Chain A
Amino acid sequence: MWRNELSTLFRRRRTQAILLTLMLVPIAITLVVRFAGGPEGGDGPSFLSQVTNNGVFAVLAGLTVTLPFFLPMAVAVVAGDTISGEAGLGTLRYLLTRPAGRGRLLASKGATVVVFCLAATAAVAGLVAGVILFPVGRITTLSGDSLPLVSGMLRISLAAFLIGVSLLGLAAIGVFISTITDVPVGAMAGTLAVFILIGVLDALPQTAAIHPWLLTNHWLSYSDLLRTHIQWGGVVRNIGLQGVYVLVFGAAAWARFTSKDILA
């Protein structure tokens, strides 16, 4: 059932378009930096200037550029569509009378969204473009030292994976909102609105008391992996916080969906 859920999601043009766009971002960055020259003075994002030194950084540059908005939007679209999309098409009634089972359906939808979050951040094309266009060699850490290529690559892959994990809290909110409406666009917009609200709260100094609990609070912790001596504190706190969001909103989605009257 889960495999079928995945293939239904990834056969959809919309999903393919989102992933393709995400893949184009690192390629575009790489091309721009390669042919138009990189920011020498270093006022751009910190990873951008490193692309010219080392192609594998194209992956991180791409993720850093897409993390503030494009990745959350992609997650809002896919997570917001999970249940409300089936309701909007009317296919929900046929899945449930099959019977897919409400708990089982929600679980396989959730698992599919997790796969999507990780797939979105995988952005393999960035790596490919980076490797082709720039010299590949030892990787310079943020601390200024250099690492051998293989261990540096491992760290960058782990950073990409952590960015995928960072999206899970928002994905859980999206799935929950998706269970309370039959209009997929409403669920997507609602999820995005919550994300924007979190951004606003994060920017206000007056709300400093709740900042540690906002799901975006530790989003930049992945950069700690690129220091010579990895600092795990932020990374662990980020994973823990995402876990809390997944548990709370996952439970809310379950409570809502298993008792809901299906009128669509």
Chain B
Amino acid sequence: MTTLLTRPSESPTATGADQAIETSGLTKFFGKQKVVDELALSVPTGSVFGFLGPNGSGKTTTIRMLLGLLTPDAGDVRLLGQPIPAASDEALPLIGALIDGPACYPWLSGRQNLWRFDASGPDSQRSTRKARIEEALGRVGLTAAGDKRFKAYSLGMRQRLGLANALLRPRQLLILDEPTNGMDPQGTREIRHLIRELAADGTTVFLSSHLLAEIEQVCTHLAVMSAGRLVAQGSLNELQAATSPVLRVDTDDVQAAEAILFASGLKTTTEASQITAVIGDVRPEDVCRRLVEGGVGVRRFVVERPSLEDTFVALTGEGFDVAQ
């Protein structure tokens, strides 16, 4: 499908670093408050990396430091193996970014906005610009709306134009902050599809999102921030393996079922007709047989890995209040 975009291996400045993003001791203060605290991120090349954390945990500040918009108070950033901000001119053209929502000139059309951003860099590549703009608009489904002024765009269309800007050149790394914010379900699906396609082409995707189901579907790796610190980092499998599997039983006969589970040595919590228990060393086969022999009508009996949401809450705590 693509000819001009996302062919990182053909790029003349391909670096072949095994970490697309690497930070060490990255620290940022706003006034006296430590917003990012000695962050050591490590994003493997070729991964789809989910960057999670509650509101105010320092995700966007981190992304702004990665891209050289903020100067860290301590620590280093390397993108594609190159130091930032020293080598920004070499590294940043290979990186597409959507930071803190899209931003464009309201009085220009979608096409003119992309033209403006593309023309503002040191390496103009003017001869291919028109074709690249059309291709990027096509990828995000904005070909027909490309000549409308940006101020007439809906939130989802603005988000799509922001993504098109991130896809204007062949990229080795995409840094996407909440890319599906404000999009309709079709749009969300298309973006998920697009991210998979880009990843299959070898582009590393660094994805920050609150939509845990979204992250769970596309990401291979994960980092979780809480109050400026990294509380977990690794592949999705590693992180979920760290939490134990749970048993969920759906039944109308809650009391009898609870008694049997308790007798089997399980600690249960019940919500309406669903009983949940950490399964631990107990064999689920035995529990199932006892329930049936005890005459309990079982509608659903399942042992599953905790969802990403369970993992997330376990790592960052239950509280609803913004931490800082």
A206 within 8 A of B: no
Give the Cβ gap from B290 to chain A, nearest Cβ, in Å. 60
Once the chains are docked, how many angstroms separate the CA of A263 from the CA of B112? 25
Interface status of A151 (Cβ within 8 A of chain B):
no
What count of chain B residues pass the 8 Å CB interface test?
33
Which residues from 65 to 124 on chain B have a C-beta closer than 8 Å to any C-beta of chain A? 67-71, 88-89, 92-93, 95, 97, 99-108, 112, 115-122, 124
Are A261 and B70 in touch, CB under 8 angstroms? yes
B70 with A91: CB separation less than 8 A: no
Q: Is A12 an interface residue (CB 8 A)?
A: yes
Q: How far is the CA of A11 from the CA of B116 in the complex (A)?
A: 12
CB distance from A84 to the nearest CB of B (A): 14
A240 located at the interface, meaning its Cβ lies under 8 Å from any Cβ of chain B in the complex: no
Closest 7 A/B residue pairs (Cβ)? A90-B103, A4-B119, A262-B69, A99-B92, A98-B121, A100-B120, A97-B67
Q: Is B165 in the interface zone, CB < 8 Å from A?
A: yes
**Interface flag for B130 (CB, 8 Å):** no
Given the complex of chains A and B, what is the CA–CA distance between A159 and B140 in angstroms? 52
Q: Min CB distance, A20 to chain B, in Å?
A: 16
Bound: A89/B116 CA distance, A:
14
Q: Chain B residue with minimal CB distance to A14?
A: B107
| Closest chain B residue to A4, Cβ basis | B119
Flag whether A8 is at the interface (Cβ < 8 A).
yes
Residues in B whose Cβ lies below 8 Å from that of A96:
67-69
Chain A residues with Cβ below 8 Å from B165 are 94
Q: What is the CA–CA distance of A8 and B120 in the complex, to the nearest angstrom? A: 11
A4-B116, A4-B120, A104-B122 given as contacts; is B107 within 8 A of A11 (CB)?
yes
Measured CB to CB, the residues of B under 8 A from A are 64, 67-71, 88-89, 92-93, 95, 97, 99-108, 112, 115-122, 124, 165
**Are B119 and A99 touching (Cβ within 8 A)?**
no
List B contacts of A12 (CB < 8 A): 107
CB distance from B126 to the nearest CB of A (A): 10
Cross-chain contact of B70 among A95, A104, A262 (Cβ < 8 A):
A262
A89-B89 in contact (CB<8A): no
Q: Is the CB of B88 within 8 A of A90?
A: no
Task: Give 13 CB contacts A-B under 8 Å.
Answer: A1-B121, A4-B116, A11-B112, A12-B107, A90-B100, A91-B105, A93-B67, A94-B117, A94-B165, A96-B68, A96-B69, A97-B67, A98-B118
Q: Are A98 and B107 in contact (CB under 8 A)?
A: no
Judge whether A97 and B92 touch: CB under 8 Å.
yes
A residues in contact with B107, CB < 8 Å:
11-13
Q: Which residues in B have their C-beta under 8 angstroms from that of A261?
A: 69-71
Cβ < 8 Å to B, chain A residues 71-116: 89-91, 93-101, 104-105
Q: Are A99 and B89 in contact (CB under 8 A)?
A: yes
Whether A259 sits at the interface, judged by CB under 8 Å, is: yes
B88 neighbours in A (Cβ, 8 Å): 99, 101
Of listed A90, A94, A101, A261, residue having the most chain B CB within 10 A: A94
Is the pair B71, A259 in contact by a Cβ cutoff of 8 Å? Answer: yes
Contacts of B108 in A (CB 8 A): 8, 11
A88 to chain B, nearest CB (A): 10
- Chain A residues closer than 8 Å to B105, beta-carbon distance: 8, 89, 91
Contact at A95–B104, with CB atoms within 8 Å?
no
- Determine whether the beta carbon of B120 is less than 8 Å from that of A93: no
Considering the chains assembled together, what is the distance between the CA atoms of A259 and B69 in angstroms? 10
Question: Residues 2-42 of chain A: 1 if any B CB is under 8 Å from the residue's CB, otherwise 0?
Answer: 01110010011100000000000000000000000000000
Bound-state Cα–Cα, A261 to B70, Å: 5
Q: Does A100 lie within 8 Å of B121, measured CB to CB?
A: yes
Complex alpha-carbon distance, A95 and B99, angstroms: 12
Residues of B within 8 A of A104 (CB): 122
CA distance A106 to B161 in the complex (A): 25
Residues of B within 8 A of A90 (CB): 100-103
On whether the beta carbons of B99 and A97 are closer than 8 Å, the reply is: yes
Report whether A94 and B103 are in contact in the complex, using a CB–CB cutoff of 8 Å: yes
As a 0/1 sequence over residues 128 to 163 of chain A, the CB contacts with chain B under 8 angstroms (1 = contact) are 000000000000000000000000000000000000
Given known A-B contacts A8-B105, A12-B107, A99-B92, A93 and B119 have beta carbons under 8 A apart: no
**Bound form: Cα–Cα A94–B168 in Å:** 12
Residues on A with C-beta less than 8 A from B68 are: 96-97, 99
| A81 CB to nearest B CB, Å | 12
Structural contact, B121 and A4, CB atoms closer than 8 A: no
Residue of A nearest to B95 (CB): A97
- Chain B residues within an 8 Å CB radius of A89: 103-106
